[in-house]
Amino acid sequence: MILTTAITAHAQTRCDTFQVYFELSKSKLNAEAKGVLLSLETKGALSARDTLVIMGYADMLGNNTINDTLSLMRANNVKEYLQEHGLEKATYKLCTGKGAVKRNLPVPAEGFPADRRVDIIAQSGLLKKKGGNAIGEKPPFDPKIIAHVRKGNAYVLHKIYFYRGRHTVQDTSYKQMDELYEFMVQHPTVHIRLEGHICCVPNGHDAEDEDFPQAHYTGPREDLFKKNFKPDPNLIYFKFKYNDSITKHYVKDPKTKGLYANCLSTNRAWRVYQYLIDKGIDPTRLSYKGFGSSIHAVPETSPEVSTRNMRVEIRIMEE
């Protein structure tokens, strides 16, 4: 069992996500797992002042009924253990099972270890909700009301939705993507940058993209960064950013050569960028960049509000 994320001191406003991983088909916490959860409280990562959301998951081995039950049992076991070990006074806003993480991939015999987990989302220093746009929140993109295109202006693509943890867009998103395409056709001198953002990850970090089948590799993650690591040619590997260095990578689709398996915000911006290119927009008029969780549109005061930080924006680079 592994815990991922940095343990940070409490700030006035904070939203940290901790991930605890389980063995195949298991919902009980073993001795190592209990030690990990205890360290969250003893090292100050969690406290009785926090509002917690606990969400359990399973991989795609087994049917939906089994996975729904297993994911809920995992979440409940984590909650009960935290309550019994110093966090009984914390506010537990939600404890639920989300079932299997859906992947558009063949399921290997060993499943996807990264999906057998519980997410613990912790908020502290909650702020009172205020009306209007928060600092950093951009106006929604609507080509009908953009009277003057000015360099530096930014707009949020508020009707583009992605599947959870992936850069794949939902079908309802294509309408606004087509509106953006028409906007670019009607303004042939305009250059834009697509900017991706995510939520609920501490310290400005980015997140892994579940559209990349790195979970096919079940050995130690560190092996991917060894100089003498020889990948199995029957598996698919994608490149990672790691301590400002880049590993070797193997891709099936040449379009994905600029993507990283652990840069979800970048990949989501790329998805819109690539759609515009596929529709015929000159690539020299487009660029894309991911900012991880470093720029919030709104303070992350609750899970519901935090979702507004999961967004792709456009920025006018040339009029």
C-alpha pair distances (Å), 103 with each of 35, 157, 164, 173, 274: 31, 25, 10, 19, 21
Q: Which fold has domain 154-203+259-318?
A: 60s Ribosomal Protein L30; Chain: A; (3.30.1330)
Which CATH number applies to 3-126: 3.40.470.10, 3.30.1330.60, 3.20.20.70, 3.40.50.300? Answer: 3.30.1330.60
Any idea which residue has 């987990």 for tokens?
Answer: 117
| pLDDT confidence of residue 236 | 42
| pLDDT confidence of residue 212 | 65
- Topology alike, domains 3-126 and 154-203+259-318: yes
pLDDT in single tens digits along all 319 residues of the chain: 444 443 333 333 445 677 888 998 899 998 888 888 888 877 777 888 888 889 899 988 888 888 889 999 999 999 999 998 888 888 888 898 888 887 767 778 888 888 888 988 877 533 333 333 444 678 888 887 676 778 888 899 999 988 888 888 888 999 999 999 999 999 999 999 999 998 877 656 777 777 765 433 334 444 444 444 444 444 344 444 433 443 333 333 445 555 666 678 888 999 999 899 999 999 999 999 888 888 777 777 777 777 788 899 999 888 7
Contact 206, 263 (CB under 8 A): yes
Q: Where are the domains of the chain?
A: 3-126, 154-203+259-318
Q: What residues contact 176, with CB distance under 8 A and at least 6 apart?
A: 141, 157, 158, 159, 160
Question: Residue 88 half-sphere exposure, CB side, CA atoms within 13 Å?
Answer: 3
| pLDDT confidence of residue 234 | 41
